[in-house]
Chains A and B, each alone.
Chain A
Amino acid sequence: MFELEEKTYQRLRPTLPPGKFALIRGEDLVGLYDTQEAALSAGTERFGLTALFIRKVGDEVMVVTAPALSLGILRAHPQPVLPG
């Protein structure tokens, strides 16, 4: 969904200050912010309700553990046995 923004971010990344939150739209860096909330607020005030692309400069890919989800067994259950 954000291929262009991702490319823009990767292109600009070496020049951006680590720890700041970059708001990117298309090929443009809209702004750098101290917090994610500030970036969200500024982006929404400017563009309205639209999906925004925000990255914390220098942030790594988050690693998540969710065994039931990754194994596809979130709602797995046997046929219930009625008592009596």
Chain B
Amino acid sequence: MPILNQYYRAELNLPDGRSQQIPAAQALQLQGPLVEVLVTPPAVVLEALQKRGDQLPELVKGHALIDTGASVTCIDMEIARQLQLAEVGTATMQSATHADVPTPVYHFALVIQGVGLRFETARGMGATLGAQGIVALIGRDALSTCLLVYNGATGSISLAL
């Protein structure tokens, strides 16, 4: 069973220009449960490209935020365009403060680097995430097959598939 154990660290920039390491618990609180991922087209697309003898697309590396508040996994739409992901539906965000704007739904996979954890979502929502410095939100659809431990006291998370 692949398990990711991740401890967080961060530095605070002081007014005098120096930087100071902050405690792991605070680093996790500030950054949130971020994990390094590769975003890829789904396996069937990669297999079909191999069959054609085509070059595989360059995968996109970045950070994904585990968000237990998100019902589905979301991907940055710019990256979806870059990877030429198929649009397989439309979604709207349930929100009291925002008008319902239809958003594309994509089929893609996220690979958590280093541990071989792979999530494939057949219906992930497109979102504007680039400004947040992340490429994806890992939502409850991906987490539905996982054990997630958020250890705020030690500033670490464990994720097992």
Question: Which residues of A are interface residues toward B (Cβ below 8 A)?
Answer: 1-2, 36-37, 40-41, 43-45, 48-56, 59, 61-71, 74-75, 77, 80, 82-83
Docked pose: A36 CA to B32 CA in angstroms: 33
A65: B residues at CB distance < 8 A = 69-71, 93-94
Expressed in whole angstroms, the Cα–Cα distance for A67 and B119 within the complex equals 22
Chain A residues, Cβ within 8 Å of B123: 62
Interface size for chain B: under 10, 10 to 19, 20 to 34, or 35 or more residues? 35 or more
B49 adjacent to A48 (CB under 8 Å): yes
Contact, CB under 8 Å: A40 / B89:
no
Residues of A near B94 (CB, < 8 A) are 63-65, 70
Min CB distance A34 to B, Å, is: 13
Which chain B positions have C-beta within 8 A of A75?
Answer: 32, 65, 132-134
Q: Which of B12, B81, B95 contacts A71 (CB 8 A)?
A: B95
Query: For B32, what are the chain A residues with a Cβ–Cβ distance below 8 Å?
Result: 74-75
Q: Which residues of A contact B42 (CB under 8 A)?
A: 37, 40
The residues of A that contact B142 with a CB separation of less than 8 Å are: none
Asked if B44 and A67 sit within 8 Å, CB to CB, the answer is no
- Most chain A CB within 10 A, of B12, B26, B87, B102, is at B87
Query: CB < 8 Å: which of A37, A62, A68 contacts B44?
Result: A37
Q: Are B49 and A64 in contact (CB under 8 A)?
A: no
B87 engages A52 (CB within 8 Å): yes
Query: When each residue 42-61 of chain B gets 1 if its CB lies under 8 Å from chain A and 0 otherwise, what string results?
Result: 10110111011010010000
Set of chain A residues within 8 Å of B88, measured between Cβ atoms = 36, 54-56
Point out the residues of chain B lying under 8 angstroms from A62, CB to CB.
Answer: 72, 89-92, 105, 123, 125
B44 and A61 form a contact (CB under 8 A): no
Pick the contact of B54: A49, A64, A68 (CB < 8 A).
A49
Query: Taking the complex as formed, is B20 at the interface, i.e. its CB lies under 8 A from any CB of chain A?
Result: yes
